[in-house]
């Protein structure tokens, strides 16, 4: 590259740019492909992108059926035409998407190597419209799938079995804010970060903060029980949902829970949160709001390696301190971030950095920060920086929040693994995870919620290389097995979806799975609501070929 030559942005960098810039710039990105273009557009907040109208912006090749792309070829049929007519009667012709260039955007979520073309995408604006759409699908015996912003990472929003996607993006209103009792009533299409902005004037915020919080919606967060960096102190979505309005798979509408958080009878809210859209479609949520802490201190520990950073996490927690967040970013991720638009000025020779955040009463937080700093230094940190102001705090967090976007510079595709292990086993598990990546000749990096043991090994790869894809999937399986053997679980916040459904047998017996299926059948006896998710498609699920995950046609019933 000659001096002064402009470097074209990596694909991941475009995810953080304004929508208008993305629209102009994505065609010039390095290694752009239709799959990556879809991912950029899925992240957009511009309605043009959110609704999938790409005709003037994108040319893409005719799809050819492969083992990696599930074709839902309908062909002309009276049932299709009849259903489409019924759906248009409900929401209007403009809110029923059926053209190939419109459906293209909805063939995948953030797990881009799993895909399925939907029969149609419907964009209702009210609970009544959602209920009528569900009833129309039931009448025509067509499965349906609720979808938010499409930022999920487990294939949970794919329309398998020739299904219809019910896209909730138009239901984006904050219906009520009650500062006194500290709750808000929201529609499912409200963007996560927008809720905190809306209640800031009341000295409140919404605590769950997924890394995609600038784009992901609260309905999707409820479906996946999303977490985020501050899960350590504040918990996941389930700890902040008080009540739900739910359209059942038969089209009836029910209300579950109570704004007080103390409903009578069974905890059905708890059953729905994290059910991945298999029990119904959330059309309204009452969520808990939290007072903004009086003081926040953010520290950045520089460590020689990931293992010593993990040991520091354990030492801090054992001391009795409960930080709001503890996040580790390894060297490969630091290098990618510092070469991207998210550069935060981190030392690229560091083996890892540990972001530590404490919040609470001003009288206590200062002392806690001093203890945290001392413990990190005692465990091998060569330096611990303390943010002097909000600008520096945001600089520290930029390395963590921009990590996934920066990974787009390394390869066309990114496989974000998600598993949880006991915190005390983090050092040995991280060493073993890196060894798995090296064994398969893969580019593996780590950025994760260290405080609660939620790992996110990231594998950068090119899905067009069949051999590399096979190695990626094999490594993913080995990482899950490793975490389960260490006493962990196969998902912390991304869900099961199609990605991990065939590995549920690593954790659960046939009797366990049967109990879960009975719960699902109580809500949806015909299994038309988001079929093909959560549960194994073969008896010996964990023995199955992982290349088949999510690519096979899933029968109803």
Q: How high is the pLDDT of residue 446?
A: 96
CA–CA gap between residue 288 and residue 305 (Å, rounded): 38
CATH fold label, 295-406 = Alpha-Beta Plaits (3.30.70)
Q: How high is the pLDDT of residue 180?
A: 97
Extents of the domains making up the chain: 1-56, 63-292, 295-406
> Which residue bears the tokens 């498609």?
537
Closest by CA to 102, choosing from 122, 75, 81, is 122
| Backbone angles phi and psi of 335, in degrees to 5 | -60, -40
Q: How high is the pLDDT of residue 262?
A: 86
Closest by CA to 223, choosing from 302, 183, 276, 159, is 276
SS (H, E, C) 467-502: HHHHHHHHHHHHHHHHHHHCCCECCCCCCCCCCCHH
Closest by CA to 313, choosing from 430, 399, 406, is 430
Tell me the whole-structure pTM to 2 decimals: 0.84
Asked if residue 31 has pLDDT above 70, the reply is: no
> Which residue bears the tokens 């009288």?
363
* Averaged pLDDT, 402-424: 93
CATH fold label, 63-292 = 3.30.465
Q: How high is the pLDDT of residue 263?
A: 82
Query: pLDDT digit string (tens) for 443-481?
Result: 999 999 999 999 999 999 999 999 999 999 999 999 999
Query: pLDDT digit string (tens) for 190-247?
Result: 999 999 999 999 999 999 999 999 999 999 999 999 999 999 999 999 999 999 999 9
Asked if residue 122 has pLDDT above 60, the reply is: yes
Q: Which pLDDT band holds residue 24 (cuts at 50, 70, 90)?
A: very low
User: Strands (DSSP E) along 125-237, which ranges?
Assistant: 144-147, 164-167, 174-178, 183-186, 204-205
**Cα-based torsion angle of the residue sequence 111, 114, 118, 124 in order, rounded to the nearest 10 degrees:** -20
Please list, in sequence order, all residues whose beta carbon lies within 8 angstroms of the beta carbon of residue 341, skipping any fewer than 6 positions away: 9, 13, 16, 17, 402
CA–CA gap between residue 419 and residue 362 (Å, rounded): 35
State the sign of the Cα–Cα–Cα–Cα dihedral 476, 482, 483, 484.
Answer: positive
Query: pLDDT digit string (tens) for 259-309?
Result: 998 888 999 999 999 999 999 999 999 999 999 999 999 999 999 999 999
Asked if residue 63 has pLDDT above 70, the reply is: no
Q: How high is the pLDDT of residue 78?
A: 60
Q: Which pLDDT band holds residue 10 (cuts at 50, 70, 90)?
A: very low
Task: Give CA angle at 471 (468, 473), nearest 5°.
Answer: 110
Query: pLDDT digit string (tens) for 92-119?
Result: 999 999 999 999 999 999 999 999 999 9
């Amino acid at each position: 590259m000659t001096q002064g030559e402009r470097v074209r942005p990596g694909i991941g960098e475009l995810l953080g740019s304004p929508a208008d810039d993305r629209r102009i710039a994505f065609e010039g990105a390095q290694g752009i492909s239709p799959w990556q273009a879809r991912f950029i557009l899925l992240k957009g907040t511009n309605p043009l992108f959110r609704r999938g109208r790409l005709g003037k912006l994108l040319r893409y090749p005719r799809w050819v059926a492969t083992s990696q792309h599930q074709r839902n070829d309908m062909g002309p049929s009276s049932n299709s035409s009849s259903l489409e007519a019924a759906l248009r009667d409900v929401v209007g012709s403009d809110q029923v998407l059926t053209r190939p260039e419109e459906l293209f955007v909805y063939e995948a979520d953030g797990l881009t190597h799993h895909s399925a073309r939907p029969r149609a995408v419907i964009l209702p604006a009210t609970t009544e419209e959602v209920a009528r759409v569900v009833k129309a699908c039931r009448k025509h015996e067509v499965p349906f799938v609720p979808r938010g912003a499409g930022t999920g990472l487990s294939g949970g929003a794919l329309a398998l079995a020739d299904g219809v996607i019910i896209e909730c993006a138009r239901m984006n209103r904050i219906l009520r804010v009650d500062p006194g009792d500290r709750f808000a009533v929201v529609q499912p299409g409200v963007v996560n970060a927008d809720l905190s902005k809306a209640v800031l004037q009341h000295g409140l915020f919404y605590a769950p903060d997924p890394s995609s919080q600038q784009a992901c919606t609260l309905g999707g967060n409820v479906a996946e029980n999303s977490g985020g960096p501050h899960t350590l102190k504040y918990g996941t979505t389930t700890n902040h949902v008080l009540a739900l309005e739910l359209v059942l798979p038969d089209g009836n509408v029910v209300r579950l829970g109570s704004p007080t958080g103390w409903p009578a009878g069974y905890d059905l809210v708890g059953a729905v949160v994290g059910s991945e859209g298999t029990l119904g479609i959330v059309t309204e949520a009452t969520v808990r709001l939290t007072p903004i802490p009086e003081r926040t201190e953010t520290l950045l520990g520089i460590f020689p390696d990931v293992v010593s950073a993990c040991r520091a996490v354990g030492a801090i927690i054992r001391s009795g301190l409960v930080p709001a967040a503890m996040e580790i970013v390894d060297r490969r991720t630091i290098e990618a971030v510092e070469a991207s638009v998210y550069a935060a000025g981190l030392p690229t020779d560091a083996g890892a950095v540990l972001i530590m955040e404490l919040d609470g009463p001003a009288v206590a937080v200062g002392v806690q920060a001093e203890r945290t700093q001392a413990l990190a230094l005692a465990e091998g940190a060569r330096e611990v920086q303390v943010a002097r102001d909000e600008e520096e705090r945001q600089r520290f967090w930029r390395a963590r929040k921009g990590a996934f976007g920066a990974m787009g510079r390394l390869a066309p595709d990114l496989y974000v693994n998600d598993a949880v292990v006991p915190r005390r086993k983090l050092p040995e598990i991280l060493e073993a995870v890196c060894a798995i990546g090296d064994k398969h000749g893969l580019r593996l990096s780590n950025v994760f919620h260290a405080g609660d043991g939620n790992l996110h090994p990231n594998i950068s790869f090119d899905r067009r290389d069949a051999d590399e894809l096979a190695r990626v999937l094999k490594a993913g399986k080995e990482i899950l097995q490793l975490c389960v053997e260490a006493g962990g679980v196969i998902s912390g916040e991304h869900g099961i979806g199609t990605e991990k459904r065939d590995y549920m047998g690593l954790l659960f017996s046939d009797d366990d799975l049967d109990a879960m299926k009975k719960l699902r059948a109580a809500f949806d006896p015909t299994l038309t609501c988001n079929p093909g998710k959560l549960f194994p498609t073969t008896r010996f699920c964990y023995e199955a070929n992982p290349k088949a995950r999510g690519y096979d046609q899933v029968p109803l019933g």
